[in-house]
Amino acid sequence: MKAILLAGGQGTRLRPLTLNTPKPVVPIFDRPFLTYQIDLVKQVPEIDEVVLSLNYQPEAIEAVFGDGSALGTRLRYVVEPEPLGTAGGIKFASRGLDGPIVVFNGDVLTSIDLGAVIRLHRERQARATIVLTPVENPSAFGLVETDGRQNIKRFLEKPKREEITTNRINAGIYVLESDTFDRIPDGVPWSIERKYFPSLIERGETFLAFDYQGYWIDIGTPQKYLQVHHDILTGRFPAAPFREQPAPRACVSPRARIDAGATVESPCFIDDDVVVEAGARIAPLSVVGRGARIEAGAVVDGSIIWPDCVVGPGATVSGSIVGRHCRLGAHTVVEGGAVLGDRTSLTDFTRV
């Protein structure tokens, strides 16, 4: 059995972070994001190959993951010649494959029991099975209606309040029979949500929903990217590097230098070769990447600092994200969900 991870998007909602770093390798703590999806797929022993469907900066992604041996799996790369949409990308990546295929959208983080989804698909001899997850504000999403036997009836695209009949949305995780891909034209952008899925309903094919109530998040915006770090730090989502660690969680590399007089508060993450100078403070829910330097009197509070940054003396970073190789001058203030791209340089006393 094979799995396809749709990782070809340009990560536009995460810009400027993704201008130099493709979304699949955006770090979650010290691990590329896609590593978490691969870990999930590996829980199903019969999946013997993961196909990465790429389009944006594919060489950068392959340079990180290689052939997958370091992750304990086999990876194969398929690069779309041009963006083909969700269904078009699946068909392009599935060439030469047969039988059921597991498909993941490339920006989903979840703890779902993938084996249970596959079992439901097989027990009901479905042509397609998709995972649904509930949301608090149904009017902001496309919704999926089902009957009492988990059969999908219809899709509602961002309905008006009076039209809402369910709070469940497509979670971006599918089991699809490869012989249904003949309805997807070759080399043409094609939507799985608007064209492929409706074709299953129109033909009366067995099209199932797997209801999932557990942790699920789309990391595709800076707010959600911050949130997933906070969720792992607080234990809401058990994942590396905190899976086995009881609260309050703090992961401070033995290769980091924490000077006397510096303050480090849990939960937090401090990577290799970080320097936290005397008088600096790492407040809760903060992540400091490899090789960063937090200088005297600086404060990092509920923020993510990517590798090789310098936060100058007396500077404050609060509730924000700072890309690689940034230089924040003395007494700068970065707050309120600000996002700084790689190599940003702020002069002393700047406010962002």
For the annotated catalytic residues, the residue numbers are 158
User: Contact at 8 Å (CB) between 192 and 110?
Assistant: no
Q: In a 3-state reduction of DSSP, which class is residue 323? A: coil
User: Contact at 8 Å (CB) between 74 and 31?
Assistant: no
Rounded CA-CA distance 192/195 in Å is 6
**Would strands 263-264 and 128-134 be described as parallel, antiparallel, or unpaired?**
unpaired
- In sequence order, what are the beta bridge partners of 250? 268
Rounded CA-CA distance 43/113 in Å is 8
Q: Which two tokens stand for residue 49?
A: 């190959």
Closest CA to 245 of 226, 268, 262: 268
User: Contact at 8 Å (CB) between 230 and 124?
Assistant: no
Rounded CA-CA distance 103/35 in Å is 15
What percent of the chain is helix, strand and coil (3-state, nearest 5)? 25, 30, 45
DSSP one-letter code for 320: -
Q: Which two tokens stand for residue 229?
A: 């770090």
| Spacing of C-alpha 39 from chain mean position | 13
Q: Could you tell me how many helices (H) and strands (E) the chain has, helices first?
A: 6, 30
Rounded CA-CA distance 349/352 in Å is 10
Q: Which two tokens stand for residue 203?
A: 């033909």
Closest CA to 172 of 136, 145, 204, 197: 197
